[in-house]
A and B are shown apart, each in its own frame.
Chain A
Amino acid sequence: MADQNRYELNKNLAQMLKGGVIMDVTTPEQAKIAEAAGAAAVMALERIPADIRAAGGVSRMSDPKMIKGIQDAVSIPVMAKCRIGHFAEAQILQAIEIDYIDESEVLSPADDIFHINKREFDVPFVCGAKDLGEALRRIEEGASMIRTKGEPGTGDIVQAVRHMRLMNQEIARISSMREDELFNRAKELQVSYDLVRFVHDHKKLPVVNFAAGGVATPADAALMMQLGAEGVFVGSGIFKSGNPAKRAAAIVQAVTNYTDAKLIAKLSEDLGEAMVGINEQEIALLMAERGK
């Protein structure tokens, strides 16, 4: 059972990941390429979102043996995904001492109402959100890190941008509210007054907020950082591209110097082919609509 101390430590780990890029990997070899390219952490999963999308069917937590192989291959933190609401998968990931669990809409949801009670766990959780209400509800449940949902496996940044902008607008709105308006806002967002009060007082989420879902180029990463992301998840964008090592390293540098357009211009040269991508109008399955 996690105590307040443990929750602080878990928020602290997310702070250490800031300014970094977290990369999806499916094998120990890919994990090593990601680490060498400057990944701050890797996300171990069986198939990257673009392939999950292509294959269809139910997608689940990865084989623990495969995750352990990746844990042995790198020294940076290793994350892994479990299905929304699937607390037994989360228990398994905790048992193999994963550094961060992503309760993720990329996998098929196991529960269409309830998310995992993340307060019961000692390992930290990151969750996706497309607006402030979702973010705060996940934090209320015990998430110690938030990321935009974006639209995974598409290589299309439009949804991540929409989610980040919406969150920022809602935070700005709460920050400028009169104190007596906060009680009603908490009711509307279905979260506790304390969380709304925190956002009002600090003009930010109480946990670190990364961008995710559709990041494919150094420019995409710089865009999200300039919109206020504290770091970036890159899923299919790297290992679905022509030159993963080079693209990964370029995205890492773009996140560090996200306002230096000259540098990012140089970083964007000769990266080979970007992932092909699918526009949001062309996809049948909106993963961002999973888990609210």
Chain B
Amino acid sequence: MGINKPQIGVLAVQGAFIEHERILKSLGAEAFEIRQLRDLDRHLDGLVLPGGESTVQGKLLHDLGLFEPLRKKIVEGLPVLATCAGVILLAEKIAGENKAHFATLPAIIRRNAYGRQLGSFFTENEVAHVGKVPQTFIRAPFFESVGEGVEVLSRTASSNTADAPEQIVAVRYKNQIALSFHPELNSDTSIHRYFLKLVG
């Protein structure tokens, strides 16, 4: 990680951003909140797009003037860790909807893919380059398909039904790591360590 702490901006317009900050700080990174445009004045080594409600976050990104500057940074290669709602912000296409948000990740994502809250579940599974990690899915999306150059990091079956098919729940595309589940809700820090390695 070098002498200087990596500076990680955590999108903090709505959702579970404090949980990410806590883990990043425990790993020796500097985490700060992005709530409005002036928060982008400082140097940024990485970006976290946390869980929450993607409709709310998407709207606030525009209302607060954050959308274009953040999209530009992602396109230019800023390392990004996106979880749940954050993945919906990144995906090029949202199944069944005409609108996308940043659209920087060549993939089709399905929102609330496991149904309502009763479909939320917890399991443990392998993630490529990382190992076995706890996976908490809260009204989670999954990837229906991914485009060229997108590496699938994890396929997981919902534990709700015995014969549930495996779905793509974690991918990496260049500078973007996108997870349907919430590594910030467990004490395991291996996903965040993997992200900080990408940050350099």
Contacts and interface: CB of A to CB of B under 8 A. Distances in A.
A267 to B, nearest CB: 10
A12 B36 contact: no
A257 to B, nearest CB: 5
Interface residues of A, number: 39
Interface string A117-144: 0000011100000000000000000000
Given A12-B182, A99-B139, A253-B64, A20 B15 contact: yes
Contacts of A40: 14, 52-53, 56
Interface string A192-213: 0000000000000000000000
Given A75-B111, A256-B35, A256-B64, A13 B56 contact: no
Question: B interface, how many residues as a size bin?
Answer: 35 or more
Nearest to B137: A9
Contacts of B16: 15-16, 18
Interface string B34-75: 011000000000000001110110011001100000000000
Contacts of A17: 52-53
Contacts, number: 111
A19 B17 contact: yes
Given A15-B185, A256-B14, A257-B35, A97 B112 contact: no
Interface of B: 12-19, 35-36, 51-53, 55-56, 59-60, 63-64, 84-85, 111-112, 115-118, 120-122, 136, 138-139, 182, 185
Given A8-B122, A19-B14, A256-B35, 4 more contacts: A9-B136, A16-B84, A20-B15, A257-B35
17 contacts: A12-B120, A12-B182, A13-B117, A13-B138, A16-B53, A16-B84, A16-B139, A18-B14, A20-B52, A39-B56, A40-B56, A75-B112, A77-B116, A77-B117, A77-B139, A256-B60, A260-B36
